[in-house]
Structure 1
Amino acid sequence: MVKYYRTDDRKIHEEPTIQDGVWVQMVNPSVAEGQMVADALDMDVEDVLAALDEEESSRIELQDGYTLILVDIPSIEIRHEKESYTTIPLGILITSGEIVTVCTEDTPVLQAFLNNRVREFSTKKKLRFVYQILYRIAVLYQSDLRIIDKMRTEIEERVGDDTEEVDLIALHELESTLVYFATSLRANGVVLDRLTRYKRLEQYPEDKELLGDVIVENQQAIEMTSIYRDIINGTRELLSSVIDNRMNSIMKSLTVITLVMAIPTVISGIYGMNVNEHWVPFANTAHGFAIIIGIMVIICVIILLLLRKKRIL
């Protein structure tokens, strides 16, 4: 899908064709649509469609007549029938008169501009527009990181009798997400560092200040990712310890039961041997069976008391 937008009097509206000062928004475009935009703006179609490759790394390239900026943005995907976070590329191409954004999905980063929720937004101020996009990306990372930490907190609150192996799997998925975030944020940081030395387009003092804010927010997101990874790692170790302790408790209980049940088994096995009744105690005694059962019960009770005294039970 390809749409053209332009701002006039601080309000955005859709345009029918490409013209000067237009923002070309491409959401999961086809090869034909990519070729059409590439021909209209005299760009390489591979650069236009670069963001469609999920393996593309963040970078900035200066080409003849245009500049390509690739950054990673957070996105939601369905993993194991649950919503999880990942990162996908967002391509930004800047020409002398237009700006093009390319992404595989309709990201909330750009929806904010379409809904007029960004102050001082203008499609004609291309470099400022780019910095505003990058700022929204950093803010979205921070928002998703807070949601991830909230999910971790919910798992941590269940630590105890309600702890299950599924919680360990959930924590592992959260930790994997933070690895993706950390990698993408560091790569985005390299792009931002290069933009500080970007001289191709005119930068106003307000633009440089905004770029500084973007760098600060991106660095804050990196630090949040590192902190949350450490916390999740500690929570995962805690859950593992709880599950291990629970398993040890179960094994101890089974061992006690086996030990106690071994006494009646041994005694009944001895009395089950085919020997002369003269050598079997209580064989000819009245109520001999009840006496033997009583002896077994007394022995079992003594063993249980000893185990409790030793704090094994």
Structure 2
Amino acid sequence: MMHIYTNDAHGRFVRADVIPQCGWIQLQNPTPEELYEVASATRLPFAFLEDALQPEERPRVERQGQASLVLLHEPCRDERVSAIHEDVKYRSLPLGIIVTGDLIVTVSRQASVISPDFMVRHGLRLAPGRQSFNALAMAEGIAQAFAGVMQDIDADIASAEAELARSYRNRELYALLYLNESLIYMTTALKNMMHVMHRIRQDEYLPLTPEDLGMFEAAVAELDQAHAVTHISQLNLNNVMDAYGNIIQNNVSHIVKFLTAVTIVLSIPTLIASIYGMNVPLPFQTDPSAFTVIVISMVVISGMVAWLFQKKRYF
């Protein structure tokens, strides 16, 4: 799907039917025909557009001719995963930001956080000489999106912890495991994007004005903060998984010990009843009160064994 935007005389975002000299081309899960149309109209390297659609493409920055590609990752939620214990719900996928002249092109396989509402909310304009600033503002917006996803992940972790504290099932551990995998996606993407931002500054892949440098520093600060929060959450989650794994194992041991003690106590009357159920001469078999004596003996012996186990805290 391709959308073309430009600013009208009042600075408002409006849709355009043709690619303007100064504007924004938004490609979300585009068709091959749309990719060829954009590549031929803007003379962009087709590989720039194609690379942004590869799920495993790592963040990087690249320049060919007048076109600069800033390939970042943005967080996304898998709507097919309804519960956190079923699969990995939070992932990161590539978002390509291509700057060429006064045009900026964004390419992604999914609905992106970079939308016209985002542009308006951050006061961005599609004016000549503003595309480097817009690209850096998009990087800052992506960092903020990571921070928002981290809030959801922390809430899911807290929910899984609360459920795990009163459960002996593996489902909650699977939830923590999948959340940990989500944090790995987030940490890796943020770390790679920080490396990309430093390369932009050092190797001058984008022409930066003094105003652009201020936005660059803000984007780097947001990325660094999001990475720190994600890393801390990952460490905490690993500690929680280890702790609750030991707790569940300890709880299971207590249950096994309790069931074993109950089995021993119940085996005593079973053993006595089995002996006196044999078809052989037995002591007191002719005594009229033999049944009463045997039952009382089973209760007393079982009670003594149960008292002994209770004293040793087997129950």
Normalising by structure 1, what TM-score?
Answer: 0.93
CA distance in 1, matches of 2:39, 2:302: 86
AA of the residue aligned to 1:263 = I
Describe the shift of the 1:82–1:257 C-alpha distance in structure 2 as closer, same or farther (beyond 3 A).
Answer: closer
Q: For residue 82 of structure 1, give the secondary structure of its aligned residue in structure 2.
A: coil
Q: For residue 119 of structure 1, give the secondary structure of its aligned residue in structure 2.
A: coil
Moved more, 235-244 or 23-32: 235-244
Q: Does 1:298 align with 2:303?
A: no
**Residue 260 of structure 2 corresponds to which residue in structure 1?**
255
**Contact 1:52–1:89 (8 Å) recurs in 2:** yes
Moved more, 75-84 or 39-48: 75-84
AA of the residue aligned to 1:27 = Q
AA of the residue aligned to 1:7 = N
**Residue 285 of structure 2 corresponds to which residue in structure 1?**
283
AA of the residue aligned to 2:138 = I
The Cα offsets for residues 208-258 of structure 1, whole Å up to 9 and x where unpaired, read as 011011111111111111110111112222322332233122211210121
**Residue 30 of structure 1 corresponds to which residue in structure 2?**
31
Structure 1: gaps of 5 or more residues? none
**Residue 190 of structure 1 corresponds to which residue in structure 2?**
195
The Cα offsets for residues 172-229 of structure 1, whole Å up to 9 and x where unpaired, read as 1110000011111111111101111243553221210110111111111111111101
Moved more, 105-114 or 121-130: 105-114
**Contact 1:99–1:123 (8 Å) recurs in 2:** no
Query: 1:163 offset after TM fit, Å?
Result: 5.4
CA distance in 2, matches of 1:257, 1:303: 10
**Contact 1:24–1:101 (8 Å) recurs in 2:** yes
Moved more, 246-255 or 74-83: 74-83
CA distance in 2, matches of 1:296, 1:182: 64
**Contact 1:159–1:242 (8 Å) recurs in 2:** no
CA root-mean-square deviation = 1.8
Q: For residue 75 of structure 2, give the secondary structure of its aligned residue in structure 1.
A: strand
Q: How does 1:160-171 map to 2 (within 5 A)?
A: 160-162=165-167, 164-171=169-176
CA distance in 2, matches of 1:89, 1:30: 17
**Contact 1:3–1:26 (8 Å) recurs in 2:** yes
CA distance in 2, matches of 1:81, 1:287: 67
Query: 1:36 offset after TM fit, Å?
Result: 0.8
**Residue 13 of structure 1 corresponds to which residue in structure 2?**
14
**Contact 1:123–1:129 (8 Å) recurs in 2:** no
CA distance in 1, matches of 2:260, 2:274: 20
The Cα offsets for residues 259-311 of structure 1, whole Å up to 9 and x where unpaired, read as 112212222232233433xxx22211112111111101100001111111111
The Cα offsets for residues 139-166 of structure 1, whole Å up to 9 and x where unpaired, read as 1001111110111112222343345321
Q: Name the % identity.
A: 29
Q: For residue 52 of structure 1, give the secondary structure of its aligned residue in structure 2.
A: coil
CA distance in 2, matches of 1:185, 1:88: 12
AA of the residue aligned to 2:6 = R
Describe the shift of the 1:256–1:289 C-alpha distance in structure 2 as closer, same or farther (beyond 3 A).
Answer: same
Q: For residue 215 of structure 1, give the secondary structure of its aligned residue in structure 2.
A: helix
Q: For residue 241 of structure 1, give the secondary structure of its aligned residue in structure 2.
A: helix
Moved more, 30-39 or 195-204: 195-204
**Residue 117 of structure 1 corresponds to which residue in structure 2?**
121
**Contact 1:23–1:123 (8 Å) recurs in 2:** no
Structure 2: gaps of 5 or more residues? none
Normalising by structure 2, what TM-score?
Answer: 0.92
AA of the residue aligned to 2:189 = S
**Residue 108 of structure 1 corresponds to which residue in structure 2?**
113
**Residue 131 of structure 1 corresponds to which residue in structure 2?**
136
In the alignment of these two chains, the number of paired residues is: 309
AA of the residue aligned to 1:246 = N
Query: 1:119 offset after TM fit, Å?
Result: 2.3
Describe the shift of the 1:131–1:287 C-alpha distance in structure 2 as closer, same or farther (beyond 3 A).
Answer: same
Q: For residue 90 of structure 1, give the secondary structure of its aligned residue in structure 2.
A: strand
CA distance in 2, matches of 1:274, 1:312: 36
**Contact 1:113–1:121 (8 Å) recurs in 2:** no
Describe the shift of the 1:141–1:201 C-alpha distance in structure 2 as closer, same or farther (beyond 3 A).
Answer: closer
**Contact 2:69–2:98 (8 Å) recurs in 1:** yes
1:202 corresponds to which of 200, 207, 212 = 207
CA distance in 2, matches of 1:50, 1:240: 41
Q: For residue 149 of structure 2, give the secondary structure of its aligned residue in structure 1.
A: helix
Describe the shift of the 1:202–1:70 C-alpha distance in structure 2 as closer, same or farther (beyond 3 A).
Answer: closer
Q: Does 1:226 align with 2:228?
A: no
**Residue 156 of structure 1 corresponds to which residue in structure 2?**
161
